[in-house]
A and B are shown apart, each in its own frame.
Chain A
Amino acid sequence: MRDRTLPVAIPAPTPKECKGWGWLPGLIVIGSYGILVVSYANYLSRANAPLAEILFWIGLLLLVMPISARLVGETPTRFERIGLVVFLGLALYLVKFSHSPFAFTFSDELVHIYNARAILERNALFTSNPILAVTAFYPGLEIITAAVTMLTGLPLFAAGLIVIGFARLVLVLALFLLYEQVSGSARAASLGVLLFMGSSNFVYWSGQYSYESLSFPLAILLLHALARRFYTPESRQQFGLTIVILLTLLAVVVTHHLTSYAVFIFLAAVGLIQAIFRSTRARRIGSFGVILIAFLATVTWLVYVGNQAVAYIYPVLRSAGRSVAGTVAGEEVRRALFTSNTGAVAPLWERLVGLGSVVLLVLGLPTGLHQVWKSARSNALAIVLAGAALAYFPLLMLRFTSAGWEISNRAANYLFIGLALVAGLAAGHVWAAERIRGPGAALFSVCVAIIILGGIIAGWSPDLRLSWPYRVGDIFHASDPQGVAVANWAQAHLGLGNRIATDETNARLMLAYGGQYVLTGTTGGLRLMMLSPYFSQSDLQIIRAGDIDYLVYDKRSISLDNMRGVYYRRTPSGDFGQNDFLDEQAYDQFDGLRYVSRLLDSGFVTVYDVGVMSGAKPIP
């Protein structure tokens, strides 16, 4: 039986292709200027100065366009292409760093840094995380971060930055080698990686300190090793690649639930296509062996950690299903695109670029699919990636539903692996050698700029894209926000692990910096209690049921928003309006109650000791 799954052979690189830095140093200098401009834009944004936003976009264009114009050409060596995509990937990570250069500020980051801190404090895993329980049971990222901190003495923030930066390096390199393996071309591979950076999650979401930022690069590495293994005849090579596959698979399984499921689905799809195409028995066994191990490892871990992942994912899927049904039936209002959850609407040009990026990718799809069909239709991996590209666009429809948006956003990361490859093949064909000089290369770099900027626009809320003020002061002394100072105070004066009820923002700060066990959100009537204008008997029941030791009140209404509440407020005068605060009666309701001490007052934040009410302390 002829094996129809063999790919096109990758020609061994010639010495000329291997060496030569080409324009790499010069383009790195230009890109560095781009980063400098982005960094300055973020600085201006924190100071509420004008021009911040326009400088941000100019910096990104300076970073992306020259590299794009170079990569579309035929002349760069393989080495130069790898250098350029690696530099661009890391530079876009610096864009995220310049957004939050003092501490982790994204809501998920604060949840994960608590897990890392718990490993350092207890020398053990699986310490319960009260905000996102599932994260404690997928500790791969936190183990590595804790290891870096333990062995280097670096603070957790620096260790986390290094680990995620390292993971970004793995991602870009693995993606290049995977695409090269599938397409047989370093040029198509570099264009594919370039276009992958247009994924809406690439700059901010995948740059944050969160488990998926590590598991996703490891998953791409696994796919590359798998692709290499399928098509490597030499047994010693196969053995080495099997070791790589198994170790990265285990690491993915203990790092992130969704990525491990995505890897399994991907492997199963490859196996199915191989079965349909009736590949040789040896290859089938190799393929199904890995699929079986992936399945067993994922399920074993799921069972071992007590179905935490199911409890986390199922409600999201259920709400998305209801939301889709409601939208189709006309019972639910369609979600407005380019509008943040605070109601901020993106300007017209942003909406045009965002839509333009989707249109460009759609336009590239037929040509890219044709290229896959022409040169790699016997390659199971290429077929699955092409299928992922096709599935990407229907999934975008979920963005029109209120609860389906998250699924679309999260799944897009995985499907974009296929879409970027197909788009890269399309770009390589359309901008063929004879057409790439001068205006052709410029046009391509404009298209890439639209796709990457469009991804950023679609991926992150307009008002959060640039940095908010976090550390304020001068070179002699600078202060972090009140919530951070209060969390540090809580650790020093109250000890670790107290049960503290508070708003969404201070809960994360108390978790990450205070080491407290926090209760927040609407569960158990907490939010109702904290926002009610007076203290009642039902509030007492809630405090007792939650076994609450302390209450932390933040007067600012923005404290209910876990993405914006962490920062200093930016105002030209420093004054606040009436709408900036919660009802005064609500946050004063515990004043004057017998045996309720008002332990701390920082202006916006107040800490009450309600231990006597909950029964944690005896009545004196």
Chain B
Amino acid sequence: MRNRSLDLALVVLLTCIALLLPLRPPVSTPFALLLVLYLPGYALTSAVFAYRTLDRPERTLFSMGLSLAITAISGLVLHLTGLGIHTEYLSALLSGIALISAAAAWLQRSRIIFNPPPARARLDLTGIFLLIFSGFILAIAIAIARTPTPPGGFQGYTLLWIGNGEAGSPGTYQIGIQSQEFTTMGFSLRVAAGGEDLKSISSFQLKPGETLEITEPLPAWVTPQIPIEAQLFRLAEPAEPYRRVVLWPDG
């Protein structure tokens, strides 16, 4: 009696952990994954099939497949009922299905005489070592796959943008520069309108990934009919604009 409901107790425990405990990722991730991808299907499979009438591969298949189906249909139901697909509704629905199904499975199991469990494949120490070793090789394979390509032979780039000041600061304009170059690079910036300089930075450096954002006041004589032009130069090639943007300011 004890043994044949151990799996259901585990379903209830894992569901409760996923639903109730205030865990944060990455600790909560495996529990939440189980809640979406395995537990509802496992519990439902246990409820609708007589105890131990499915072999392990088939039970696993139905658990996974039904969980996918249940999650997809649950999302649809939440949308169609107008509740919306929110985290709390979704987790409550999936947990509810898992817990109710587990309860139904427990009830039906308590009424039957159960057979001895089927034989299990046992793995010897060499096998365990080989599986751990293959996991190690696969981890290296994934690490290699996720290694960025060395920058030799590629062009890095820099973003230059311009915009009107935010809603809270009328009469201003903003300029942004983000370096996605592969080395630290020196720049200069010139902003002009109607032939007159508004802002000039003769030299500054940006590291790879670094962003510089400037908000400047707009002189009163710069009307919406006068465009503001910003030019970014590389210190290594000061004669040729590297990037150029133009803003027609708001009125």
Please report A residues at the B interface, Cβ cutoff 8 Å: 13, 15, 18-21, 24-26, 28-29, 31-33, 35-36, 38-40, 42-43, 46-48, 77, 79, 82, 94, 97-98, 101-102, 119, 123-126, 139-141, 143-144, 146-148, 150-154, 162-163, 166-167, 169-170, 173-174, 176-177, 214, 217-218, 221, 224-225, 234, 236-237, 239-240, 243-244, 247-248, 250-251, 254-255, 469-479, 482, 485-486, 489, 493, 568-574, 591, 594-604, 607, 612, 620
Q: How far is the CA of A537 from the CA of B28 in the complex (A)?
A: 58
CB of B238 within 8 A of chain A?
Answer: no
Closest to B160 in A: A601
Q: Which residues of A contact B18 (CB under 8 A)?
A: 151
Q: Which residues of A contact B147 (CB under 8 A)?
A: 43
Structural contact, A472 and B151, CB atoms closer than 8 A: yes
Structural contact, B68 and A124, CB atoms closer than 8 A: no
Kindly identify which residue among B121, B128, B243 contacts A602, using a CB–CB cutoff of 8 Å.
B243
CB of B170 within 8 A of chain A?
Answer: no
Structural contact, B85 and A473, CB atoms closer than 8 A: no
Structural contact, B69 and A248, CB atoms closer than 8 A: yes
Q: Given A153-B28, A620-B250 in contact, is the A125-B119 Cβ separation under 8 Å?
A: no
Q: How far is the CA of A150 from the CA of B90 in the complex (A)?
A: 9
Structural contact, B148 and A101, CB atoms closer than 8 A: no
Most buried by B among A98, A239, A603: A603
Q: Which residues of B contact A148 (CB under 8 A)?
A: 32-33, 36-37
Q: Which residues of B contact A151 (CB under 8 A)?
A: 18, 32-33, 35-36, 87, 90-91
CB of B217 within 8 A of chain A?
Answer: no
Structural contact, B64 and A485, CB atoms closer than 8 A: no
Distance between A79 CB and nearest chain B CB, rounded to angstroms: 5
Q: Which residues of B contact A568 (CB under 8 A)?
A: 149, 154-155
Structural contact, A35 and B141, CB atoms closer than 8 A: yes
Kindly identify which residue among A141, A176, A237, A597 contacts B53, using a CB–CB cutoff of 8 Å.
A237
Q: How far is the CA of A289 from the CA of B196 in the complex (A)?
A: 80
Q: Which residues of A contact B87 (CB under 8 A)?
A: 150-151
Structural contact, A214 and B162, CB atoms closer than 8 A: no
Kindly identify which residue among B68, B74, B94, B153 contacts A167, using a CB–CB cutoff of 8 Å.
B68
Q: Given A148-B33, A240-B48 in contact, is the A473-B159 Cβ separation under 8 Å?
A: no
CB of B171 within 8 A of chain A?
Answer: no
CB of B25 within 8 A of chain A?
Answer: yes
Kindly identify which residue among A82, A153, A163, A166 contacts B57, using a CB–CB cutoff of 8 Å.
A82
Structural contact, B55 and A493, CB atoms closer than 8 A: no
Structural contact, A486 and B246, CB atoms closer than 8 A: no
Structural contact, A251 and B72, CB atoms closer than 8 A: yes
The 10 closest A-B pairs by CB, nearest first: A620-B224, A143-B75, A25-B130, A251-B69, A478-B148, A151-B32, A240-B48, A479-B180, A32-B137, A240-B49
Structural contact, A153 and B25, CB atoms closer than 8 A: yes
Kindly identify which residue among B49, B127, B131, B180 contacts A236, using a CB–CB cutoff of 8 Å.
B49
Q: How far is the CA of A177 from the CA of B159 in the complex (A)?
A: 54
Structural contact, B65 and A469, CB atoms closer than 8 A: no
Q: Which residues of A contact B154 (CB under 8 A)?
A: 469, 472, 568-569, 574
Structural contact, A251 and B73, CB atoms closer than 8 A: yes
Please report B residues at the A interface, Cβ cutoff 8 Å: 18, 24-25, 28-29, 32-33, 35-37, 44-45, 48-50, 53, 55, 57-58, 60-62, 64-66, 68-76, 79, 84-87, 90-91, 94, 118-123, 126-128, 130-131, 133-135, 137-138, 140-142, 144-163, 176, 178, 180, 182, 207-209, 224-225, 227, 243-251
Structural contact, B68 and A166, CB atoms closer than 8 A: yes
Q: How far is the CA of A240 from the CA of B54 in the complex (A)?
A: 11
Structural contact, A602 and B158, CB atoms closer than 8 A: yes
Q: Which residues of B contact A42 (CB under 8 A)?
A: 145
Structural contact, B64 and A166, CB atoms closer than 8 A: yes
Q: Given A153-B29, A248-B65 in contact, is the A599-B162 Cβ separation under 8 Å?
A: yes
Distance between A535 CB and nearest chain B CB, rounded to angstroms: 15
Closest to B119 in A: A15
Distance between B86 CB and nearest chain A CB, rounded to angstroms: 5
Q: Which residues of B contact A167 (CB under 8 A)?
A: 68
Q: How far is the CA of A154 from the CA of B180 in the complex (A)?
A: 25
Q: Which residues of A contact B149 (CB under 8 A)?
A: 43, 46-47, 469-473, 568
Q: Given A18-B119, A46-B149 in contact, is the A247-B162 Cβ separation under 8 Å?
A: no
Q: How far is the CA of A477 from the CA of B182 in the complex (A)?
A: 8
Q: Which residues of B contact A36 (CB under 8 A)?
A: 137-138, 140-141, 144
Closest to A33 in B: B137
Q: Given A174-B61, A174-B65 in contact, is the A25-B131 Cβ separation under 8 Å?
A: yes
Q: Which residues of A contact B36 (CB under 8 A)?
A: 144, 147-148, 151-152
Q: How far is the CA of A570 from the CA of B122 in the complex (A)?
A: 50
A-B contacts besides A94-B138, A250-B69, A254-B76, 6 pairs, CB < 8 Å: A19-B122, A94-B142, A153-B29, A240-B49, A477-B209, A485-B180
Structural contact, A39 and B153, CB atoms closer than 8 A: no
Most buried by B among A43, A163, A485: A43
Distance between A488 CB and nearest chain B CB, rounded to angstroms: 10
Closest to B209 in A: A477
Q: How far is the CA of A302 from the CA of B154 in the complex (A)?
A: 48
Q: How far is the CA of A472 from the CA of B151 in the complex (A)?
A: 6
Q: Given A123-B84, A237-B49, A473-B208 in contact, is the A101-B75 Cβ separation under 8 Å?
A: no
Q: Which residues of B contact A24 (CB under 8 A)?
A: 127
Closest to A20 in B: B121
Q: How far is the CA of A601 from the CA of B48 in the complex (A)?
A: 60
Closest to A19 in B: B121
Closest to A620 in B: B224
Q: How far is the CA of A39 from the CA of B143 in the complex (A)?
A: 9
Q: How far is the CA of A462 from the CA of B55 in the complex (A)?
A: 42
Structural contact, B68 and A251, CB atoms closer than 8 A: yes
Distance between B95 CB and nearest chain A CB, rounded to angstroms: 10
Q: How far is the CA of A170 from the CA of B224 in the complex (A)?
A: 61
Q: Given A152-B28, A469-B149 in contact, is the A221-B65 Cβ separation under 8 Å?
A: yes
Structural contact, B134 and A25, CB atoms closer than 8 A: yes
Structural contact, B65 and A218, CB atoms closer than 8 A: yes
Most buried by A among B32, B60, B127, B248: B248
Kindly identify which residue among A43, A140, A493 contacts B145, using a CB–CB cutoff of 8 Å.
A43
Structural contact, B161 and A489, CB atoms closer than 8 A: yes
Distance between B245 CB and nearest chain A CB, rounded to angstroms: 5
Q: How far is the CA of A13 from the CA of B121 in the complex (A)?
A: 13
Distance between A34 CB and nearest chain B CB, rounded to angstroms: 9
Q: Which residues of A contact B244 (CB under 8 A)?
A: 598, 601
